[in-house]
Amino acid sequence: MSGSGNVRRFLKYPNIPEGKAVCVITSDRYSGYINELRDNFHISVISPLPLDNISGSERYHADMSVCHLGEEFFALEKNNTSVDNALKNNKARIFYSGKITAREPGLNVCILKNRIICRKDTADRSIIEFCKDKSIEILNVPQRYARCSTAVINENAVITTDESIYRMCRNNNIDALKIDGNDIKLEGYDCGFIGGCCGLISENELAFCGDITAHRDHENIRSFLRNYSVSPVSLGCGKLTDIGGLLPIMEEV
């Protein structure tokens, strides 16, 4: 993750680059998307180890294993040595989570600068305590998988497939677009989640794993993104695929 030239730093706020992303955390099971990130966008990739307590494809997902809290602070599944070593090499400060299961995906929360969307009773305690310490407002929703259910556009705008997240956002002055989740693939399931198939790779580029035009709501998505001067970038072709998100953690400024 290190290099010469322009200054490289951890993102000040989770999920929201202010410059060009130079490193993301994402699953290594989808080489096509990773190759495009590396070859076409010069973004390095860190991939988590599979989670021991989860049997489905989500055991490989980044949004299950790590949560960027902002700047050098991270919450991490304690046995994920690949991510742990890479973060420590860049002087990250890490909180280690309790046991992660499908019913209690403690790191799968969505942070929007000074607010966090999560199911409070399943969110990892280290995250809740961090948010209290930093005066980050907690928006409690029934959805356990808040991060993979939410595509972050900026601190006040999201796209989601979840009705409870949509309502919570609208009630808290966060602009939200609700879309159909049926056009998103997730291995082993009928459908996936919008946050799990994308991630910002710069302030004005949202990268999708797959072809955005293959989604039935692609015109609404494009229109919503235009409101925030964000362009969709399609990595590869075919239906959008939930791979556990593209989590930008370092940027060039």
> Is 142 a residue whose pLDDT tops 60?
yes
Domain that holds residue 93: 8-252
Q: Per the domain annotation, does 197 fall within a domain?
A: yes
The CATH number linked to 190 is: 3.75.10.10
Q: How many CA atoms lie within 13 A of 44 on its CB side?
A: 13
Q: What are phi and psi of 212, to 5 degrees?
A: -60, -30
Q: Is residue 62 part of a domain?
A: yes
The pLDDT mean for the chain works out to 95
Provide the pLDDT for residue 3.
46
The pTM for the full model equals 0.95
Residue 241 lies in a domain: yes
Q: Domain for residue 28, yes or no? A: yes
Residue 1 has pLDDT above 60, yes or no: no
Q: What is the pLDDT of residue 154?
A: 97
Position 2 in a domain:
no
Residue 6 has a pLDDT of 77
Number of domains composing the chain: 1
**Residue 1 placed within a domain:** no
Residue 183 pLDDT class (50, 70, 90 cuts)? very high
Query: Is residue 3 situated within a structural domain?
Result: no
**Do 165 and 213 contact (CB within 8 A), yes or no?**
no
Query: For the chain, how far is it from start to end, CA to CA, in angstroms?
Result: 14
Report the alpha-carbon distance of residue 65 to residue 194 in Å, rounded. 18
Nearest of 206, 252, 250, 253 to residue 70 by alpha carbon: 250
pLDDT (tens digit per residue) in 59-68: 999 999 999 9
Banded model confidence at residue 196, pLDDT cuts 50, 70, 90: very high
Task: Specify the pLDDT at position 5.
Answer: 54
Q: Quick check: is 193 in a domain?
A: yes
